[in-house]
Amino acid sequence: MKANRSQFKAAIAFLAPNFLGFLLFTAGPVLFSLGASFTNTNLQQTLPLRFNGIANYSELVRDKAFWLYLVNTLYMMLGLPFAMFGSLWLAVLLNRKLRGISIFRTLLYLPSFASGVAIMILWKALYNPDFGPINETLRHVFSVLNVHADTPQWLQSTHNMVGLDVEKVGLTPKQFGLGARDALILMGVWIAIGGNNMLLYLAALTNVPEELLEAAQLDGASSWRCFVSVTWPQLAPTTFFILVMSIIGGLQGGFETARVMTTGGPAGTTTTLAYFIYSLAFEQFRIGYASAVAWVLFAFVFVATLVNWRFGNRAANEM
């Protein structure tokens, strides 16, 4: 009991600097936005400020744009599993003691160094449908394979891999193909695969006790078997962390790419919820409504994380 009290005091001391900053720069603003979501706060003060209950939230349910952008957001998260497992795979490969391996590590991490804005401008040029290197290569491949197909229009196209409709939530064969959203997914995977997640996995892999691996190898387990039964469970906390962060990032994502590369177009197909919130708040000045959308987005993220948390704890317990 006494130990607990001293631990409590110590906890307060250790937490204090972080907690103060947290209150001031995170919790405070978050509460402010929660409050704002129940008002008609607007930077263009045409109306007196007033509390309007759940009006913003009920508007949102009826707002066609919200649902379209939600679908965009979810669609653009399709790259997450590829990025995650790609990172893991790369980390496993890079964890070998080969000569020159550190050069590969550096090379593969390079995209994460580059300033975001510059990388986006770079990809905009790569995706150029006519002269861009990507389509040049595709055309070359097509002609070698003797395939008669049009190269994708990438950032100029509303097409997508599942045929999402442009103006309403639904599917239509007309939209089937590769378009702006897919281009952004591909770029996202390219940036993420050798990035921070790989680094995290690499750090976690060094934590896997070699005795365990050696013991398994002595038992005659194949390297795949070793990975599944020894390494993977050891990586569980890291995987959990990466999964949570990826989902959070994915749901909140698409803001900078939209701002720098597509301005949310063509025809709003690359507008994600984050960019929607941004344009509501900073272009239309509807802080109240923007806050409501943000809180709904938050609710989605929260539920996703809770589910993960359950799953993550179970995985952690199993190991």
Counting contacts by CB under 8 A, is residue 238 touching other proteins?
yes
Peptide bond into 266 cis (omega under 30): yes
Using CB under 8 A as the binding rule, whether residue 233 contacts other proteins is answered as no
Does the protein bind other proteins through residue 117 (CB under 8 A)? yes
Residues 246 and 180: their CA atoms lie apart, in Å, by 21
Q: Which is nearer to other proteins, 145 or 283 (CB)?
A: 283
Token pair in block for residue 121: 């401008």
Q: In the chain, what is the straight-line distance between the N-terminal and C-terminal CA atoms, in Å?
A: 31
- Residue number with CB closer to other proteins (46 or 146): 46
Closest CB 42 distance from other proteins, rounded Å? 9
The tokens describing 51, both together, are: 């509390």
Are 69 and 268 in contact by the 8 Å Cβ rule? The answer is yes
The site for other proteins, by CB under 8 A, has a size of 114
Site string for other proteins, 50-89 (x = CB under 8 A): ----------------------------------------
Q: Could you say which of 49, 61, 125, 171 contacts other proteins (CB under 8 A)?
A: 125
By the rule CB under 8 A, 169 interacts with other proteins: no
**Is 273 exposed, middle or buried, given 0-12, 13-18 or 19+ CB atoms closer than 10 A?**
buried
The 8-class DSSP code of residue 262 comes to I
Among 77, 83, 200, 230, binds other proteins (CB under 8 A): 200
CA distance linking residue 192 with residue 203, whole number of Å: 16
- Does 297 contact other proteins by CB under 8 A? yes
Does residue number 43 form part of the binding site for other proteins (CB under 8 A)?
Answer: yes
Q: CA nearest 190: which of 75, 106, 111?
A: 111
Q: Min. distance of Cβ 146 from other proteins in angstroms?
A: 19
Contact status, residue 235 vs residue 316, Cβ threshold 8 Å: no
Near other proteins by CB under 8 A: residue from 22, 51, 85, 311:
22
Among 171, 203, 228, 307, binds other proteins (CB under 8 A): 203
* Segment lying near other proteins (by CB under 8 A), choices 98-106, 140-148, 212-220, 225-233: 98-106
**Distance (Å, whole) CA 149 – CA 158:** 18
Q: At its nearest, how many Å lie between other proteins and the CB of residue 243?
A: 12
317 binds other proteins (CB under 8 A): no
> Per rule CB under 8 A, is residue 109 in the interface with other proteins?
yes
Phi/psi of residue 164, nearest 5 degrees: -70, 140
**Residue positions counted in the chain:** 319
Q: Which of 67, 142, 176, 190 binds other proteins (CB under 8 A)?
A: 190
**Number of CB atoms found within 10 A of residue 65's CB:** 14
Q: Please report whether residue 255 would count as binding other proteins according to CB under 8 A.
A: yes
Q: State which of residues 114, 215, 228, 307 lies at the interface with other proteins (CB under 8 A).
A: 114
Binding string, residues 270-289; x marks residues near other proteins by CB under 8 A: ---xx--xxx-xxxxx-x--
The yes or no reply on residue 201 touching other proteins (CB under 8 A) is no
Is 217 an interacting residue with respect to other proteins (CB under 8 A)?
Answer: no
Provide the 10 A C-beta neighbour count for residue 74. 14
- Alpha-carbon distances, residue 55 vs 44, 49, 143 (angstroms): 19, 14, 57
